[in-house]
Each structure stands twice: as C-alpha cells, then as structure tokens.
Chain A
C-alpha cells in the first residue's frame, strides 16, 4: 500500500523536488509537534483548578518574540532559496541537444503533431534518458500539462508558446493530466507519456514514417498561402529571405533586435506589424484567422528547416545551439546534425 501513496520518481527533476518536499515535511512535523505539544502540556498543567483562579501576570517578552520571529524567518529563507533553485532549473530548458516535441492543447485533448513519425493524440512517446523539449500552445482556453511522476507542470496558453523540458529516467507509461480547469471534459483531458528505451524508440519512430511530416505540410502551406511571393530570393526582396533565420538575431526597425525563436516566428505571422524587420516595409498581411494553431506550427517548422543560403547568410552568432536535436531524420537544418554533442552520452542514435 505504501508505494502506491507516493508518485514514482521518473524524471531527473523528480528526486530534487522530493528532497525539498521531505525537508519541508520534516520542518512541518517539527513545528506541529512543538506547538501541539506545548498547547497540550500547558493546557493540562495549568488547567483551572478553582472556579475563580486567574492566570499569572505575564505580558510578553522581547527575547522570545525576537527568537520566534528570526528562527522561522531563517528557515523560510532556506526554503525560498532551495525552492527557487529547483524552479529555475525546471523552467529554464538547459542548452544542448534535446528531442523537440510540439504540443497542442484543445478542449479536451492533447495533440502532438508529428515532427515525423506518428501523429499522436493523448499519447506521447519519448526516449528515456534524453532531454525532451516541449513547445506548447492552446487552441482555445488555458490548459495545463502535468505529469505527476515527472513533477512537471506548465500552463498552456492560447496565443502564446510556452517551452518546458523534462528528462525521463524510467521506461514505462505515465499519466498526463490537464491540471487547469478547462470546461466540461476537463477530467477527461488525460493521456499518457510512454517512455521507451532508445532502441524501442527508434523502432517506433521508424515504424511510423508518414509522408505528411510537419515540415512538409508547412511547405505546402507556404506555397498555398503565397508566402513565397514575398519571401524568396526571387521575389525581389519585398520581404526578408527566411533561410536560416531560426534562433538567430534579427535586427528590427528602430535599432532593437530579437532572437527569432518560436514565439517570434509566431508573432511575425499572426501580427507582423508588432516587430518589423530592419530595412523592410510593414507590408506583410496578418494571417490571424487564416491559419490555425496547428498550421502555424507547420509553417514554423518549415521555416526552421530552410537552410541558410550559403553565400548570403550573415555571420551571426547562434544564441544557443539547440541543435534541433530531434532524434528524428528530418533535421535537414544545416548545423543541427553537426551541433549534436551529447555530453551525457545518451545512447540514443542521433541521425
């Protein structure tokens, strides 16, 4: 019975959260015993023996007050620092190579559009001992991606990309819950994370190669929506060439600059006027309402695969070599396959 009353520790962060948790449990037990013990002790020892007895004339004590202010404050600060450290590591995806997964939440299902391999609904296959980076958005209301056995949770917002990561340490099947109330089927918005050994995972990926990968769907869209009429070398530079733009610094009108990450690409398509690239007129129409969240992901994924044109590529410093490290074969992105350096020496075959 005991093991079933505690969640599994199935990710790298889980033991760290649990250690902090047990520290707090210990501190709490100490204070509960202390306070309940004192209350009982005093209440019994000084119980009223005669009807007209009154208490002693004690009004306070500065030393005691200072003590029981400073000691709890000290303990609280330890909790704060420790908790902040875990949070920071959990919410800042570490640099380096990781499997990238997109997540789309909608009432009431989780969709994981295929980077390649298989389209998944309410089920996500990931390799063990390898970092998985999730880029998530919602198509309607707020949901929350929650895997108790990994101790990870992040709200998934409409109109915004949020990035989280985890690294599973055990193979098996784990609950995926929607933790933010999202309407009628909220408690049905559950799924599972299937953590597989590297070889099983490779087999699974290979077994499902479908032709409609995210990127190729994006390419079709890119043509159909006439993006190329502005965004191609042939278009007479009405718009910037998008090759190799992902994760690089883009200069904006007015002298600022931004890293062209997922959120930026999204904004450029949905709300082009928000940040205008230097040297161009704000003539790009908004695609708000014309493409849905899934198509948007396809477009973005396609843009990511556009190789930098060897000659015209500006010499930019990559913000962080994320490496597009999908363990999947679609990484045509020039630098990614070479940038793969997996210090943890995950046994997964990187192709």
Chain B
C-alpha cells in the first residue's frame, strides 16, 4: 500500500483552471460539481431542521415566531426534496457511474449534461433568492388555495425555482436513458448489466414522465397567483383539490426517484461485500421497473381525507398495496444474497444494512398509511413525517452515503479511514432512529404535523426526537470531515480496493479522462464472483 501511487494522469489532474471545471463536459467532473452543490443545499436544509428541532423541544413556541417556523419547514422541505434528495444519487453517483458501468467514455450528451448542472444551479439560486428575500411559507407541498390566495410570501419565486430545476431532472433522465440504451460496451447485454443501471433506468423514466407534470402544476400556481385565473379558487369555480391530484401525480413517484437509485446502490454494495451474485437478479431488476410504473398510479393515497370519493379511495388503497410488493421482493432478495456469501463488514456494507433496516421500517409503516381506516387517523400527523423520513432520509441518504463510501476510492483515488467510517455510520444510525422512531408514537397519539406549538403531553417524545437530531447532525459531520481529510492524507486505494466486480473497477482510480484505455468487452454476467460460466438467469 505504501508503495502505491496515484495514476499519473487522471480526470482530476488533466487541467486545473476554473474554466476546466465550469466548462467541463466530463461526466466525472460534473459529478463533482453536483456533489459540491447538493452538499451545500443539504447543509442549508439541515440547518433549518436543526432550528425546528430545537424549537420543538418545548411545547410553547418560544424560539422563533410562527411565521419563521412555517418558513423553516417550508424551506427545509423544498430544499431537501427538490435540491438534495431528487438529484442526490442520480446526479452524483449516477453521473459518475453510468458511463463507467456501461463501459463508455461519457454519457450520450455530454454538453447537455453540463447544461443540466447549470439549469439545476440556476433553479437553486432562484429558490435561495426566494428564501433570502423573505422566505416562503406554503409548505413544500404548495397546497391551494393557501398558496394561491392566502400566503403573502415568495411562493411564485420558489415555484419558479423548482420549475427551472425540473428541466435539469428531465434532461438528466433523458441523458441516462439514451446512454443505457445506446452506449453499452460490446457484450454488455441488458441482463448482464449491474442492477444500479436498472434502477437508474427506472428512476430516469420517472424523471422524464413525472417532472413535466410538477412543472405544469407549479406554473399554474404561479399563474393563479399573478393572473387570478381561478383554476384552484372555488369562488371562481375552481377546485382546490385538483391541485393535490396534480401535485402528487409527480410527488409520489418522486419518492421513488429518491429511493429506487438507492436500491440500486444497495444491490451493488451487497453483491460486492458478500462477493456473490445478487439472489434473483431478474426479480430485483424488474421490481425497479414495476415500482416506477405502479408508482404513477397511487397518487390518490395522499388524498384519503382530502375529499375524494370513497370508491376512488378504495382503488388507490389497493394499488398502494400492490406497489409494496416489488419493494418487499427486493428486501427478501438482498437478505437471501447474504446466505453463504463471504461477508465483510466494511463501512459501505454497514450502510447497506442500515438502508435495509430503515427501508423495511419505512415500507412497513407505509402499509399503515395505505390501510384506509388507519390513514384517516394518522395522515397529516407525525406518523407520516416519521414514515417518509425513514424512506427518504433513512433509506435514501443511507444508500447515498453507502455509495459515496463504496465509490469514494474510485472517485478520488484514496481510501477513507475505516474506523472513522464505522463510527460515522453508528452515529448516523443511532441518531436517525432516535430522531424518528418516537415520531411514530407521537403521530398515533395525534400530534399534527407542521405544529409550532403543541400540547404538553407530547413533550417527552419531542425531547427524545430533538436529542436524536443532535446526534444525527454530528453523525453527518463526521463523514464530511474525514472524507475531506482523506483527499490529501487517505491511503492510495489502487484500482480495486474491495476486490469488487464491475467495469468501473477495471480501470485506474481515479479513472483517466476517457475512463478506459481501450473499450472493454464484456463476457460475463454481473457479479460473477464465483467465476462460473454464465448460467441461465432465473
């Protein structure tokens, strides 16, 4: 290890000037640009959460005013959902890995890829502007007619910011789909692809099909505010519930944008650290597509108390149960993969275990919300908050961090300190569960979400939750510190520090500008650890 050196020429040292970064079309450098941008957004969104949790430690609303509190949870939601979670895995790991995993030099449209980052950043700036120049208090859900008639904050500006950033999602999704279709190396058939590609393909499908709907919806909100069209205003013959249908038509699938790529990452990690092919490869691959498609048919489960007919509620409840099945299939298959594997407890694998834990709890509590009779009671309470944080923060961020650790040596050429890695994981894991598990109980007790002040009987659990949040905050800082440290002092990783399978591990770390010296030719299925001849897929 001590004799190892970084490859003389790699994508990081070909050029150093600012121009070479801001005008780069290299997917790996664009990944780094996204990484920096979304880390910034994560920090801002996290700061809002910290203040909220501090305020909620006491029942009286004593730290900030009601207005400020409402702006905080709104901006926390907007930033975390649209500017961190949605782009997190796709724009960073997806950008870095898709071309490498298909054995290509770059994505199909490198310039469009750079444009996507600029559009994303422009949208982000718009939203930050909305925030600095007074804030937004409509909730990240922008429910009408509050957002259109009642709120006198920067709703229009924030909506436009998200509208703009949406184009980045659409273009990125398009780029990934074309790359996966057209740029696979010779021999890389669909069923030899790593599962990460399948999940990115599914997520891209949602990007392309779903994002236009949220774009139109937010545009309508902006238009209604400015021009008083009357689409959502009942006094003008509009329907406020229409907004909720449109909004969730995107925003439910958007949850899968956040978690399906995470599932792909977990499949990679579980295979690599069990040195074993994923159990039921085809089932795991197709379950990603099934989730993406079924995910478009369940938006109504956000409206069970909002004013839809009893019969449509039945249909949406049933479909919501169906979408749970492919998720369950994945969890069972990951678990089965461990059987007779060669299992290492490296940090990425710990994060994968963490993901499975969080996702299992998040998924199972989803069944509660899909059960119509229970949903009436727990919807719009902390139960829902806990549920979707288990999926989107517990699940998606665990996978993101796991993936970041797993591919960090590939991206930077250096290893992070393993002991600190494990410590970071344990802190995040404990902090997260302590923050959000009490919220399930709080929710069932009846504490509504978005409450600044609350009755005193809810305090004990809120204090626990706030304590957990402080641990969680430290937990997120630990990796930030040691990953930065490793950039300079981490041990040199070498091309394949984990002994993992996959095209990305066949080239040097960090990879050269064009990824591979020669175009790779694929002759075996993914995760062929046992070096067997290709066998028929199940």
A184 at the interface (CB under 8 A from B): yes
CB-CB under 8 A for A87 and B446, given A47-B343, A59-B537:
no
A83–B444 alpha-carbon span in the complex (Å): 16
B190 at the interface (CB under 8 A from A): no
Chain B residues contacting A39 (CB-CB under 8 Å) are 335, 338, 353, 356
A186 at the interface (CB under 8 A from B): yes
Q: Which listed residue (A60, A65, A72, A90) contacts B376, Cβ 8 A?
A: A90
Whether A7 contacts B444 by the Cβ 8 Å rule is yes
Whether A80 contacts B321 by the Cβ 8 Å rule is yes
Name B256-273 residues within 8 Å CB distance of A. none
A49–B275 alpha-carbon span in the complex (Å): 12
Chain A residues contacting B328 (CB-CB under 8 Å) are 68-69, 72
Among A47, A59, A79, A152, find the residue whose CB has the most chain B CB atoms closer than 10 A.
A59
Whether B305 contacts A28 by the Cβ 8 Å rule is no
Whether A183 contacts B146 by the Cβ 8 Å rule is yes
B240 at the interface (CB under 8 A from A): yes
Whether A48 contacts B538 by the Cβ 8 Å rule is no
Whether B373 contacts A153 by the Cβ 8 Å rule is no
Whether B70 contacts A183 by the Cβ 8 Å rule is yes
B530 closest partner in A (C-beta): A57
Q: Which listed residue (A38, A46, A146) contacts B448, Cβ 8 A?
A: A146
Whether A87 contacts B279 by the Cβ 8 Å rule is no
Whether A5 contacts B234 by the Cβ 8 Å rule is no
A188–B451 alpha-carbon span in the complex (Å): 8
Whether A146 contacts B276 by the Cβ 8 Å rule is no
A38 closest partner in B (C-beta): B335
Name B's interface SS.
Answer: helix
Interface size on B, residues (CB 8 A): 98
Q: Which listed residue (A6, A54, A177) contacts B276, Cβ 8 A?
A: A54
Chain A residues contacting B314 (CB-CB under 8 Å) are 84
Whether A4 contacts B372 by the Cβ 8 Å rule is no
Q: Which listed residue (A86, A160, A162, A175) contacts B372, Cβ 8 A?
A: A86
A107–B150 alpha-carbon span in the complex (Å): 10
B528 closest partner in A (C-beta): A57
A46–B345 alpha-carbon span in the complex (Å): 11
**Residues of chain B having any CB pair with chain A under 8 Å:** 61, 66-67, 70, 137, 139, 141, 143, 145-146, 149-151, 234-235, 237, 240-241, 274-277, 279-283, 304-307, 310, 313-314, 317-318, 321-322, 324-325, 328-329, 331-333, 335-336, 338-345, 353, 356-357, 360-361, 364-365, 367-368, 370-377, 379-381, 441, 444-446, 448-455, 457, 460-461, 499, 529-532, 535, 537-538
Pairs of residues from A and B, 8 with the lowest C-beta to C-beta distance, nearest first: A148-B446, A159-B234, A86-B373, A55-B276, A83-B371, A87-B372, A60-B538, A42-B338
Seed contacts A42-B341, A56-B341, A83-B375; 6 additional CB < 8 Å A-B pairs: A5-B445, A21-B368, A24-B374, A54-B530, A60-B283, A186-B450
